[in-house]
Amino acid sequence: MPEKDKRKKEDDVELSDATEKRIDQLPEHAQHIFKKVHASALKEYEDPKKRRGGAKEDVEEVAHKVAWAAVKKEYKKKDDEWVKK
User: What whole-number distance in Å separates Cα of residue 81 and Cα of residue 35?
Assistant: 19
In the predicted model, what is the mean pLDDT of residues 30-49? 93
Cα distances from 30 to residues 3, 23, 48, 78, in angstroms, run 16, 8, 28, 14
The per-residue pLDDT for 53 is 81
CB neighbour list of residue 40: distance below 8 Å, 6 or more residues apart: none
- Residue 46 near residue 59 (C-beta atoms within 8 A): yes
The pTM for the full model equals 0.77
- Residue 44 near residue 50 (C-beta atoms within 8 A): yes
Query: If pLDDT is split at 50, 70 and 90, which confidence band does 49 have?
Result: confident
Q: Which domains does the chain have, with CATH numbers?
A: 18-84 (1.10.1740.70)
Report the 10 Å Cβ neighbour count for 62: 21
